[in-house]
């Protein structure tokens, strides 16, 4: 079966990742785009989801790629119309909205897929297998990007609910919550926020185990790095295994030896998984990465830094 899909929100992530991945996947056919500011060649264009639904174009599902703040309303509208829904990460600005979306999808008996693209890399799954049954005693996440490269001119990320540096940082947390053999919690956080912005440009986080046993686990997120970007997770287990996930989760090292290196095909694998969810009529919604972000904001100590222009 080929699923007819529309994309809501034609920004950078939709253009760079979703559309190419959909085009490659024979299980999907892109039949419409919705955006107030952009359109797609050779595909019907609408300025709102309501306008798309009123058009009576035959649809099976939607990919919602708008900023997180408007997704709940759109998802409810789509689910009510009998459509299945995929949402780009971060899924929603709050846990409450994600739970409400999940409950409504269940009530409507529709598929809801809250994607975490960084989890899709083969090295991430191999790391999860290698860590099973072990205890992590040391963790260091270094996730540093250039916001001007990845989010040019996007003001929503600097507004309340826009996540700031946690927009990329949640990618690291999505990997972490997938591979960690035990649940972990935020112990403290420092949120560096520019004087002219509402969301942080950098964050330093300390984690803890729930049982209180000693560990050294931290994360360093920063949006001011130029040149080569850094996406690295380094872990040590109680039995002495050293595990590193490098290059955004595409490379796995164990005790200094490269075990697995695979091409980055995150969005291709997202749509492969979505097709299976649609066939099996199952949803996939994991709130754990968003929970850690919310906890960072709850426990975070604000630190005012220079304006970011």
CATH H-level superfamily of 119-263+294-305:
Dihydrodipicolinate Reductase; domain 2 (3.30.360.10)
Give me the percent of the chain exceeding a pLDDT of 70: 100
Q: How confident is the model over 217-249, as pLDDT tens digits? A: 999 999 999 999 999 999 999 999 999 999 999
pLDDT beyond 90 at 134: yes
pLDDT bin (cut points 50, 70, 90) of residue 74 is: very high
Q: How confident is the model over 245-264, as pLDDT tens digits? A: 999 999 999 999 999 999 88
Q: Which residue has the tokens 């999505």?
A: 174
What is the three-class DSSP state of 57? coil
CA 124 to chain centre: 14
> What's the whole-model pTM score?
0.95
Mean pLDDT, rounded, of the chain: 96
C-alpha span between 39 and 6 (Å, rounded): 12
Do 85 and 110 contact (CB within 8 A), yes or no?
Answer: yes
Token reading at 307:
């304006």
E strands of 162-296, at which residues? 184-194, 202-209, 216-222, 230-237, 242-246, 251-254, 257-261
C-alpha span between 43 and 56 (Å, rounded): 15
Q: What is the pLDDT at residue 39?
A: 84
pLDDT beyond 90 at 30: yes
Q: How confident is the model over 267-298, as pLDDT tens digits? A: 999 999 999 999 999 999 999 999 999 999 99
Q: Which residues, other chains included, contact 82 with Cβ-Cβ below 8 Å and sequence gap of 6+?
A: 108, 110
pLDDT bin (cut points 50, 70, 90) of residue 213 is: confident
The phi and psi torsions of 6 (rounded to 5 degrees) equal: -120, 150
C-alpha span between 279 and 53 (Å, rounded): 23
Domain range summary for the chain, segments of one domain joined by +:
3-114, 119-263+294-305
Do 215 and 208 contact (CB within 8 A), yes or no?
Answer: yes
Classify residue 62 by burial, with Cβ atoms within 10 Å: 0-12, 13-18, 19+: buried
- Note the maximum CA span of the chain: 60
Check 58, 89, 257, 272 and give the catalytic one.
Answer: 89
Token reading at 44:
């019907």
Q: What is the pLDDT at residue 214?
A: 80
Q: How confident is the model over 157-207, as pLDDT tens digits? A: 999 999 999 999 999 999 999 999 999 999 999 999 999 999 999 999 999
Q: What is the pLDDT at residue 38?
A: 84
CATH architecture of 3-114: 3-Layer(aba) Sandwich (3.40)
Token reading at 27:
């299980």
Please tell me the number of Cα atoms within 13 Å of 266 on its side-chain side.
21
pLDDT beyond 90 at 25: yes
E strands of 9-94, at which residues? 28-34, 45-46, 61-64, 84-87
**Better-predicted residue by pLDDT, 286 or 1:** 286
Token reading at 145:
């990007």
Q: Which residue has the tokens 């050779």?
A: 42
Annotated catalytic residue 12: no
Q: What is the pLDDT at residue 107?
A: 98
Q: What is the pLDDT at residue 8?
A: 97
Q: What is the pLDDT at residue 68?
A: 95
Q: How confident is the model over 119-132, as pLDDT tens digits? A: 999 999 999 999 99
The one-character DSSP state at 81 is: T
Q: What is the pLDDT at residue 100?
A: 98
């Amino acid at each position: 079966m080929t699923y007819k899909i529309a994309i809501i929100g034609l920004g950078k992530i939709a253009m760079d990742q979703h559309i190419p991945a959909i085009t490659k996947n024979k299980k999907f056919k892109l039949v419409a785009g919705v955006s107030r500011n952009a359109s797609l060649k050779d595909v019907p264009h609408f300025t709102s989801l309501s306008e798309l639904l009123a058009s009576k174009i035959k649809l099976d599902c939607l990919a919602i790629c708008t900023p997180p703040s408007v997704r709940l309303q759109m998802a409810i509208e789509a689910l009510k119309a009998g459509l299945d829904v995929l949402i780009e990460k971060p899924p929603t600005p709050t846990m409450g909205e994600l739970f409400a979306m999940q409950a409504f999808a269940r009530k409507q008996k529709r598929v809801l897929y809250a994607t975490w693209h960084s989890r899709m890399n083969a090295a991430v799954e191999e790391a999860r297998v290698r860590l099973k049954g072990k205890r992590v005693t040391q963790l260091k996440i270094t996730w540093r990007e250039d916001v001007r490269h990845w989010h040019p001119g996007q003001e929503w990320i600097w507004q309340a609910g826009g996540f700031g540096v946690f927009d990329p940082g949640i990618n690291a947390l999505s990997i972490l919550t997938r591979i960690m053999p035990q649940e972990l919690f935020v112990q403290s956080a420092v949120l560096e926020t520019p004087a002219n912005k509402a969301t942080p440009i950098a964050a330093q986080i300390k984690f803890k185990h729930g049982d209180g046993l000693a560990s050294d686990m931290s994360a360093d997120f920063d949006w001011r790095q130029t040149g080569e970007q850094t996406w690295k997770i380094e872990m040590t287990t109680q039995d002495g295994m050293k595990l590193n996930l490098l290059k955004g989760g595409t490379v796995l090292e164990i005790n200094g030896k490269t075990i697995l290196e695979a091409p980055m095909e995150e969005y291709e694998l997202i749509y492969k998984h979505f097709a299976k969810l649609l066939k099996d009529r199952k949803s996939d919604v994991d709130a754990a990465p968003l929970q850690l972000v919310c906890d960072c904001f709850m426990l975070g100590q604000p630190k005012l830094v220079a304006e970011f222009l």
